[in-house]
Amino acid sequence: MSGKKSDPAPDRAELSGALGVDVEDELLERALTHRSYAYENGGLPTNERLEFLGDSVLGLVVTDTLFRGHPDLPEGQLAKLRAAVVNMRALAGVARGLGVGAHIRLGRGEEGTGGRDKASILADTLEALIGAVYLDRGLDEASALVHRLFDGLITRSAGLGAGLDWKTSLQELTAVEELGVPEYHVAESGPDHQKTFRATVRVGGATYGAGEGRSKKEAEQHAAEAAWNEIRRIVVEREAEQAGQAQETGQAQETGRAQEAGQRQAGQAAQAGA
């Protein structure tokens, strides 16, 4: 049977534990049913309707969080922030962290071409899971799930530059620090249907970061993030050292002035006594 080959491990407790919420069994199975599996098994219900619902719930919670958390940002910037959080690459990354791929019910074709790690399938399944939580447990539980999964990403996205991506932010930082233009070098490995890309980024002849991903773009973004964090660390340490030196210099000058004042007072007292 085609279903046996593509069935994930039967125990969903691991996935429920990763999500932090239990969902009714039949609804959970539907959320994990990709259309390729459904078509190969007699036209079962797919997760596409739940995906549609989950996309709306995710968008609502993220938009509400951004609106309340950034009262001074204009609509255009809020929209860019939301797009940096609610996109296929970001959702797929969250899904990988939860181990969602191992639980998806896939047809033989998708199974054979690495479908369990395809960004589009992972992102859609995560949205379907959010939709299932909303239907079974209500908006409060679904909202709590979204916050658990995405608050960190929202915070990181809010700290990026105007382009809301790590490559743009790295370029802005290296320009301010007059370090030069970042250069990316990418190597790939693995079979055609499941390639892995590794990127390194050099600035001014020095390597500051590296990253891996399922696409060249993803690998470069991860490398840029690592480089941005490393350069910021160097900048912060340098600024702290400079501030410490300035404080020491100021204290030394203050001590010198106090000594001079003391000497003048002593001299004046001596003259008065004479």
Question: Is 177 tagged catalytic?
Answer: no
Closest CA to 47 of 113, 114, 95: 95
Closest CA to 90 of 14, 164, 190: 164
Closest CA to 58 of 136, 132, 142, 118: 142
Which candidate in 40, 55, 111, 165 is catalytic?
55
Question: Is 55 tagged catalytic?
Answer: yes
Which candidate in 110, 111, 124, 127 is catalytic?
127
CB 11 within 8 A of CB 25: no
Closest CA to 130 of 36, 26, 19: 19
Structure tokens at 96: 């990988």
Which neighbouring-strand residues pair with 262? none
Match 């009262």 to its residue by tokens.
71
Rg (CA), the chain: 28
Match 């369990």 to its residue by tokens.
116
Question: Active-site positions?
Answer: 55, 127
